[in-house]
Amino acid sequence: MTQEPLIRKQRVALLVSGSGSNAAMIMERFQHHAKAEVVFVGCNRPPNRAGIYTRSRTFGLETVPFSKDDLNSGRLTQMLQKAEVDWIALAGFLMRIPVEMVEAYDRRIINIHPALLPKYGGKGMYNHHVHEAVAQAGELESGMTVHWVNALYDEGDVLFQAVCTLEPGDTAEIIGSKVLALEHRYYADVLESVISESVKANEALPSASKTMNR
């Protein structure tokens, strides 16, 4: 009796600029996952300026340093392709993804943003800058957004949003802690769901199409 070939695990890359707390949640989720695994962690900052190097070792992964030129010249894309990466998750990654990488991984790159896009997005709106703007505006709610990545800052189609209530007088630090709790709660879930839906769709294809859509 002929068995259908097993579909290999989806291979995930994480790109990080800082401590990597969201990346750690993703690495933990996929450490023993049936359908996906984290195979590449990259950072545009050196080890003395980013905690992700230490965090990734907890999961048996060495973080690969790369430069802005590596990103924009296509060398990073080549590294990811050599590692047979299927998906890219940006986890506190502060650099704009060049159009060539977006095209190479069309609908395969997702990002998390610490606000309810389209509000408080765009160049320069990251980390405490976002929360300070939210606090100064006197907003009564904030949250996080997971979205597809395109070649513009924070303008890809929204995949998921979660909202937290703010109290009058909440500082940027308080807002940041509320939003970070949502990020830790949902980002790995969203990535897992996107990958699972893709795998399910691929499993429904004829065998020849599966090979083409690996």
Tell me: the pLDDT tens digits for 16-35?
999 999 999 999 999 999 99
Q: What pLDDT does 205 receive?
A: 64
* Residue 7 confidence (pLDDT): 67
Are the CB atoms for 9 and 39 separated by under 8 Å? Answer: no
- Mark whether 113 is an active-site residue: yes
In the structure encoding, which two tokens stand for residue 207, read together? 């065998």
Distance between CA 40 and CA 63 in Å, rounded?
7
Dist. CA 89–CA 87, nearest whole Å: 7
Domains of the chain: 10-209 (3.40.50.170)
pTM: 0.91
Q: How many CB atoms lie within 10 A of CB 117?
A: 21
Instruction: Give the model confidence (pLDDT) of 101-127 as tens digits.
Output: 999 999 999 999 999 999 999 999 999
d(CA 128, CA 147): 20
Annotated catalytic residue: which of 32, 113, 131, 184? 113
Residue 126 burial (CB count, 10 A) = 21
CA separation for the pair 149, 96 (Å, rounded): 9
Tokens of 103: 């095209």
Which residues are CB-neighbours of 199 under 8 A, at least 6 positions away? 7, 10, 35, 36
Please identify every stretch of the chain with a pLDDT value under 50, giving residue numbers as ranges: 1-2, 4-5, 208-214
Report yes or no: 179 and 131 within 8 Å, Cβ to Cβ: yes
Q: How high is the mean pLDDT of the chain?
A: 93
